[in-house]
Amino acid sequence: MKKFITLALAALIACPTLCAQKSIPHTVRTCNRARVIRTEIILPKVNGFNCYKGDFHIHTSYSDGRVTPAGRVVEAWIDGLDIIAITDHYEVRSGERKFFKVIAPYSGDNEPMKYQSASDAGAVLADFNAIHEEAVAQLKKSNYPMLLIKGCEMARGSQTHGHFNALFLKDINTVYDEDMETAFRKVKAQGGIVVHNHPAWSRDTSDKTEFHERVYGEGLVDGVEVVNGYNFYPHILRRCIDEKLTMFGNSDEHVITAHDFGIVGTHRTMTLVFAKDLTEKAIKDAILARRTVAYSGGCLIGEESWLVGLLNAAVDCRLIRVDKKTNEHFYMLTNTCSIPMHLRRGRTNYLLEPFKSVMIGFGKGKIEAKATKPIFTVENMWVVDYKHPKVELEIDK
């Protein structure tokens, strides 16, 4: 009996030590793994159309970018976009040159493989469709409800031709031609569209070269970037209005968007597309119908009718009270979208921040009814001839 009691006491004494040893886990997370968090950019319907956020000019590590196609898809989702087009350069693929240098020790003679651009070879040496498919695979894997447009960028002499994006392609590899006009016709034969990129990158935008006169005159160019990155080209708005061209705002991103835009505290540059739904046909139809607005650095740039429609759809304006003695009308303005609106009345400026309200009085000391209308100049909207639109807000009932 004594032996049994002794053994029992020994077991009780050893038990806490054994339990403590068993409770120590093999792996402990120092923090919970973060999920991908999307920045939602809330925008209203305008004239019955949904407002989709797109970036139609993006580069990857397969040309002269720093991010893979899969990375661009995840990045665009985080940035709040609905549509992207990866438009790697046909002629400039410095990513390949760097890769060749890395694999030189395995080439047999320890010499880097010779890099040839498409213009040097007279034909495409890379499979641009594979770049697009890599992004498509990531989109399917992530289950993001985004639209991926197939495209590429073509370039020739900056002083004579410039850079152009080809969008909505079926086979990227077959549109290349040493003669850029012929390449544009190949794009059109596939049902694609052509966009003139950063027209003031290395030359004045107020005139056209002989090449531009031909391709614009033949109707081979469908749109122009009125904004590229943070660069706004006011002269191009007049060209778009006069020649019925679609306005684009694109990031032309080569590095990580957080470096170019996040650090500044703005959304990335994008094109707002007013379309019925998020399908390739609906987006293409909207672009060809010129239902777009460029958005960059907090500024909205486009045709006045779409800017006015966007403002009235985004800002809820309600008449709160009328002072019978002074005839002053008091309105509550509420911004229901993610874009701040900079309003000016006379010398007074009002910042209408996203999802906030301000109370503003109109018509103090005035008898005329027209003096009580909520009319503002919108300072962060730009229309043709470098002007801000003057908008009368619709009163919601």
In the chain, beta strands by DSSP E: 50-58, 83-86, 147-155, 163-167, 193-196, 223-228, 231-232, 246-250, 270-275, 292-296, 299-302, 315-323, 328-335, 341-345, 348-352, 357-362, 375-378, 381-382, 390-392
Q: What is the pLDDT of residue 368?
A: 46
How is residue 137 written in tokens?
Answer: 């695979």
Amino acid identity for residue 302 in this structure: G
Weakest mean pLDDT among 9-23, 56-70, 268-282, 300-314? 9-23
Which range among 149-153, 161-165, 173-177 shows the weakest confidence by mean pLDDT? 173-177
What's the pLDDT score for residue 397? 59
In percent, how much of the chain has pLDDT > 90? Answer: 67
pLDDT digits (tens, 9 = 90+) for 226-263: 999 999 999 999 999 999 999 999 999 999 998 888 88
Task: Express each pLDDT in 320-347 by its tens digit.
Answer: 999 888 888 899 999 999 999 999 998 9
Task: Identify the pLDDT of residue 18.
Answer: 52
Q: Which CATH superfamily is domain 50-302 in?
A: Metal-dependent hydrolases (3.20.20.140)
Domain boundaries, the chain: 50-302, 315-391
